[in-house]
Copies of this chain bind each other. A is one copy, B any other.
Amino acid sequence: MSNIFFTVGPSQLYPTAKKHIEKAIQDDICSLSHRSKKFQEIYASAVQNVKNLLGIPENFQIFFLGSATEAMERIIQNCVREHSFHFVNGSFSKRFFDISGWLGKKPEKVEVKFGEGFYFNDINIPDESELICLTQTETSAGTSVPMKEIYSLKKRHPEKLIAVDIVSSVPYPKIDFSKIDAAFFSVQKGFGLPAGLGVLVVNEKCLEKSRLLEKDGISTGSYHNFSNLLKYAEKNQTSETPNVLGIYLMAKVAEDMLEYGINKIRKETEEKAERIYDFFENNRKMEPFVKNKKIRSQTIAVIETPGGSKEIVEKLKKKGITLGTGYKDFKEKQIRIANFPTHKISDVEFLLREIENL
């Protein structure tokens, strides 16, 4: 019996991932020097394919890190002198807030309960805030922030930097990068790749802010501060020996997605999300956790299971389906279903049929 993972990340590998891993081994990609010309070519193609796929303008830089959590740290170190402002709607946006405090900055936040959205018009962001941090899709709660709300924040605060966590939604949301300053993600979610690589996308304003902090003697980190990341990125290299296989696979899967068609991926994501939410809207025992349809994530569906999640998860496991449980305190009360590009419509149909049959 073959297994399918609907976990929220790491998740099911992208259909072509295994083939690319096999080819990488065959071609000795894992033995390649990170200072070789061949590595530089892989690096350049990863950057170009990600830019093409996500519509990232040429004036943005792409940096490879260890994880999306590292991206949070590096953004705070390089873009914040003292004050960051955080929209907290779950555990990952909370982590971004915590990291700022840990790094000795003075983060402020507006916080809503798990599953709820923000009233953007009622939120006053202090003048002193230098950076606004948002989590586009909260993996812990299954909520998402509409991109237009983010753009309108930027319009109201053009002098502030805006960083968007797109970890659990990428490559689904179509983003106008001219209206944000930084975004970041990891590869074990929508890209369906082995974990261990973070991708940070920043514009010139972020780099400029980092230079300003450095000039004023504020530590922006070390080997992964923006100036050092940029110095190596310009050579299609990294300062440290990176996850070479991860960068190679990123290049390949982004290429496959380009070929498949990003619009098709986006349309299918919405179709699958609609089926999932419709199913649970009409289910007697379970229902979507997020009540406001406008902020329901298209890629992470959180479902309330009043009868407990454990039995559902175990029964489906026997059918070859691995689901996510609820996050931390919600572990026993919810299930979480990822809807990533790797999940075909027929996979979702299979999943829902098996849940129906429980």
Contacts and interface: CB of A to CB of B under 8 A. Distances in A.
Nearest to A26: B18
Contacts of A9: 241
A73 B70 CA distance: 13
A5 B21 contact: no
A225 B101 CA distance: 13
A287 B10 CA distance: 50
A15 B34 CA distance: 21
Nearest to A225: B102
Interface string A1-32: 00101010111110001100110010010111
A242 B31 contact: no
A196 B25 contact: no
A223 to B, nearest CB: 5
Given A73-B223, A243-B196, A33 B10 contact: yes
Contact of A66 (B67, B193, B245): B67
A207 interface: no
A102 B241 contact: no
B222 A99 contact: yes
Contacts of A104: 217, 219
Given A73-B221, A98-B222, A195 B34 contact: yes
B31 A11 contact: yes
A51 interface: no
A68 interface: yes
B244 A194 contact: yes
Given A31-B11, A103-B219, A222-B99, A66 B73 contact: no
Interface string A60-101: 000001111110110010000000000000000001001100
Nearest to A243: B196
Contacts of A68: 240-241
Given A34-B195, A197-B196, A243 B243 contact: yes
A245 B95 CA distance: 24
Contact of A223 (B21, B99, B188): B99
Nearest to A194: B30
A33 B186 CA distance: 14
23 contacts: A5-B31, A10-B31, A10-B244, A11-B31, A12-B31, A18-B25, A21-B25, A30-B188, A66-B70, A67-B241, A69-B223, A69-B239, A73-B223, A76-B222, A98-B222, A102-B219, A102-B223, A103-B219, A103-B221, A195-B244, A195-B245, A196-B241, A196-B242
Interface of A: 3, 5, 7, 9-13, 17-18, 21-22, 25, 28, 30-34, 65-70, 72-73, 76, 95, 98-99, 102-104, 186, 188, 193-197, 217, 219, 221-225, 239-246, 322, 324
